[in-house]
Amino acid sequence: MTTIEILRTLVAFDTTSHRSNLDLIHWIADYLAGHRVKVHLVHSEDKRKANLLASIGPDMAGGMVLSGHSDVVPVTDQNWSANPFTLVERDGRFHGRGAADMKGFIAACLSAVPAWQRRPLGRPIHLAFSYDEEIGCLGVPELVNRLKTQVEAPALAIIGEPTEMRIGVRHRGFFGHRALFSGLPAHSSDPSLGASAIEPAAYLVTCLAGLRRSFASRGGEATINIGRIDGGTAINIVPGCCEVLWEFRPQDEAAAELVRDTVRDALMDLPAGVTVEAVQVAGVPALSARDNDAAVSVARELGALWPEADLPFGTEAGFFQQVGISTVVCGPGSIAQAHQPDEWISAAQLQAADRFMQSAGAWALAEADISPAPSLKTA
């Protein structure tokens, strides 16, 4: 099957994040099995979703991971000119939900599998497809864990988010948080009889806002946003509950630690009668431009475009980098089309992805000559 034929099939599966992705994953698994590729599925706890891990070539260290997510964002309240889950070609563009983000990359990977299988590869190519990236990268941690236990240490990973085939070497992390303050309601005529939940919540917001201004004045090591505050019941009642939803996006671990330290200090001395439940609700590690020489070098060899790019969006790349795999982001399509009505990817970008995959097969023909990371495989 060609990349476009496979993309048409993948787009037809409605894998919006609130839905199961199993029909798509099972189709990919059957397709790979038809080409004698061994496949492992890594299911979510409720068994409604699954990651997929497959390997082509010898069972040895020094291979390449090609990774992408199978879920897409909703089409609700978007004005599409055609069915979002039917691939439509117009003027050299292929429209459909997920065409750019990022089923085009997955289709190019799958289209290349028969050619890879026909050749005596000297090092492996691993396919790693995740679920629920769009709602906080919920599936990829377990996928990376399975990679550690079942695959000899890869030399590099390429995450195929849409970069127009440029090499993305860094992006900020994303950490979403919820702080729920509980106090004691009372009549406002005598506030001493109660304990306000809003006041310590406001103090937390003030501390975060001050840190955000400090980051901005120093060049932006991190961004901070307070997205929602909800508390109180009436003007004449001491508020017994207040919730703060906030997030930050650090460029490195030092900036992340500064944010965490600020929050710890803000929550350390709560007023009498007030408690707080502070939890992280989403966490996506940053991708840094360290220890990625192997991935950069190979991506350029495969035809990825230079110069390197700092990406304005987050990806799953940091999860692979955290376990010692040299990682970059590079894939077909433009992020400007992602999440938009009438999302599209150009025929030229799909052709570039096909050439990239052909070069990946040529790279895998050679004996491993890149020193892999320390062994990730565990008993």
In what helix (H) or strand (E) does residue 248 lie, and over which residues does it extend? strand 241-250
Residue pair 370/294 in contact (Cβ under 8 Å)? The answer is yes
Catalytic residue (choose from 71, 152, 164, 343): 71
DSSP state string for 87-114? -EEETTEEESTTIIIIIHHHHHHHHHHH
Collapse the DSSP code of 300 into the 3-class scheme (helix H, G, I; strand E, B; otherwise coil) and give the result.
helix
Helix, strand, coil percentages (3-state) for the chain, rounded to 5, are: 35, 25, 40
Helix (H, G, I), strand (E, B) or coil at 9: helix
Dihedral sign for Cα 38, 13, 2, 330, please.
Answer: negative
Whole-number Cα distances in Å, 92 to 161, 345, 357: 20, 9, 21
Given the residues 132, 133, 308, 343, the one annotated as active site: 133
Task: Report the C-alpha gap between 358 and 113 in whole angstroms.
Answer: 10
- How many Å from the N-terminal Cα to the C-terminal Cα in the chain? 38
Asked if residues 312 and 62 have their Cβ atoms less than 8 Å apart, the reply is no
User: Quick check: is 247 catalytic?
Assistant: no
User: Is 133 an active-site residue?
Assistant: yes
Query: Where do we find the tokens 């299911």?
Result: 43
The sheet with strand 50-56 has its strands ordered as: 38-43, 50-56, 125-130, 64-69, 156-159, 326-329, 166-170, 305-310
Q: Residues 77, 82, 88, CA angle at the centre, nearest 5°?
A: 130
User: Strands 125-130, 64-69: parallel, antiparallel or unpaired by DSSP?
Assistant: parallel
* CA 353/CA 145 separation, integer angstroms: 28
Phi and psi at residue 375, to the nearest 5°: -50, 130
User: What DSSP character marks residue 287?
Assistant: B
Catalytic machinery residues: 71, 133
